[in-house]
Structure 1
Amino acid sequence: MPTYNLYCDESCHLENDNMPYMLLGYVCVPYNQMRQHNERIKQLKEQHHFYGEIKWSKVSNSQHRFYNDLIDYFFATDLFFRAIVIKKEKINNSNFNQDYNTFYYKMYYQLLNHKLDTLSHYNIYLDIKDTLSTGKINHLRSILHTKFGVIRNLQNIHSNESVFLQITDLIMGAIGYHLRGNKRVLAKTNLINRIQKHSQHQIDRSTPKNEDKLNLFFIELQ
């Protein structure tokens, strides 16, 4: 059975952060290609004299060539990205007799539910955000194992431990920036246009369900 690593991150996920959209996403990497991708991305960083952590917040006019080449590399390979996007003003937990944490886990389930294949195995890694991360992992483990039984490993890691987690941050950051209508940094706007050109989809709406390379699901909450 093939094995895949999923590197999950979240953006604007806090209940009262005054951000209009909540995003949950992951980059999927075939396990047998891990070394190949790590080496190639390392070469890209050396080629551009890029020594820091890959982050959307660090995309700048001075580093735009590196980020452009990284996005080109993502679309040329067997790396995949999926995200769900929730308009936070539509969240109404009282209608479902639930709190915000329950809603959050339901959304994580939606992120993973439609792409996990029972004929494969998965290692799932989540970015450590705060002191509550251990509890989050345990809760997700109980939910996902009950449903699927194909998850080999589920754990927290720091973003500096994985370039794939950093790529998740990068692509999710691009989506959030675009949804908020920001255009202040030319390098960021150009990178968003590059993502949309490669994917042949706008990143402010859901992609077709069968889209694999860059799969977006904008949830319509009832």
Structure 2
Amino acid sequence: MGTYNFYCDESTHIENDGHPYMILSYISTPYHMLRMHNKNIREMKIEHFYRGEMKWSSISKSQYPFYNEIIDYFFSNDLKFRAIVIDKSQLNHEAFNQDHNLFYDKMYYQLLNKKIEPGNKYNIYVDIKDSYSYLKARSLKNYLERDYYNIRNLQVIRSYESELMQMTDVLMGAINYKLRGLNRVTAKNNIIEKIEKMCGKSLVKNTSPFEDKFNLFFIELSNGI
């Protein structure tokens, strides 16, 4: 038994935002390791004279050494990452008697399903996006608690409050960048190549459902999810 923290983020998740994919993801850590991870990442920021939040959008040639070390750090310890990818061209809310808010809850359920184990307890943190984030978090908590009774806490936080939330943004950003066929920034291309090399998988394909370190799931909505 143990307690785990999940730091969840989403990208291009708005229904009609013009982007082809919706991605939900998290990084998880055993609770007792959280302080160590925060300390180590902050020390890396100081060493590289990096100020502010880590963000995929911030990666540039000058910042590449720092982000390169961040990827090394992720793959060197007990942190785990999972993402689900939804092709928004498959969205058909009417057919499933739902709106996009209910669909959002269902997709978060898919993200966390089978990763929440009965013997453990969980603190789930979701990145705050807008004034509706608090309502969405409450709805999501109610939805998850229909099946899970070991969620201690589910709340929204701002990404600057959490080093691991920021790391989630970086890994998720790499997936979205490659899926959209973008390749204009060499430093970003190099980070993607490094992630793929270290996890031994392409960022545009499913991993094994049993993959624990870096897990990707491309959902087929036609299966009735």
Distance 2:102 2:137 in 1: 14
Mapping of 1:8-157 within 5 angstroms?
8-157=8-157
CA distance in 1, matches of 2:24, 2:77: 22
SS of residue paired to 2:5: strand
- Name the CA distance, whole Å, in 2 between partners of 1:109 and 1:14: 17
* DSSP-derived class of the 1:164 partner: helix
Unpaired segments of 5 or more residues in structure 1? none
Aligned AA for 2:115?
K
Q: Which residue of 1 aligns with 2:201?
A: 201
Does 2:169 align with 1:185?
Answer: no
Contact 2:127 2:165 in 1 (8 A): yes
What is the rounded CA distance, in whole Å, between the counterparts of 2:108 and 2:145 in structure 1?
13
Unaligned runs of 5+ in 2: none
One-letter amino acid of the structure 1 residue matched with residue 195 of structure 2: I
The structural deviation recorded for 1:142 is 0.9
Give the residue type in structure 1 aligned to 2:59: V
1:51 shift after superposition: 1.3
Deviations 1:103-158 (A, max 9, x none): 11111110111211111110000011011111111111111122110101111100
Aligned-partner Cα distance in 1 for 2:32–2:100: 37
Q: Secondary structure at the match of 1:86?
A: strand
Question: SS where residue 6 of structure 1 aligns?
Answer: strand
Q: Distance in 2 between matches of 1:114 and 1:199?
A: 21
Separation in 2 of the partners of 1:202 and 1:33? 29
Distance, in Å, in 1 between the alignment partners of 2:31 and 2:100 is 34
Q: How far apart, in 2, do the equivalents of 1:187 and 1:109 lie?
A: 33
Answer whether contact 2:52 2:160 (CA < 8 A) is retained.
no
- For the aligned residues, what is the CA RMSD? 0.7
Write the distance in 1 (CA, Å) between the matches of 2:96 and 2:34. 41
Deviations 1:38-97 (A, max 9, x none): 111111111111112100000001100000000000000100000100000011112112
TM-score, normalised on structure 2? 0.97
Question: Helix, strand or coil: the match of 1:61?
Answer: coil
Residues 187-221 of structure 1 show CA distances to partners (whole Å, capped at 9, x for unaligned) of: 00000000000100111011000001110100011
Give a deviation string over 1:160-193, Cα, whole Å, max 9, x none: 0000000011100000000001000000000000
Match of 2:3 in 1: 3
Q: Which residue of structure 2 lines up, in the alignment, with residue 160 of structure 1?
A: 160
% same residue: 54
- Work out the CA distance in 1 between the residues paired with 2:209 and 2:183: 29
Aligned residue for 2:146, secondary structure, equals: helix
Q: Is the partner of 1:26 in helix, strand or coil?
A: strand
Counterpart AA for 1:70? I
How high is the TM-score relative to the length of structure 1? Answer: 0.98
Aligned residues: 222
Q: Which deviates further from its counterpart, 64-73 or 45-54?
A: 45-54
Structure 1 counterpart of 2:144, one-letter code: L
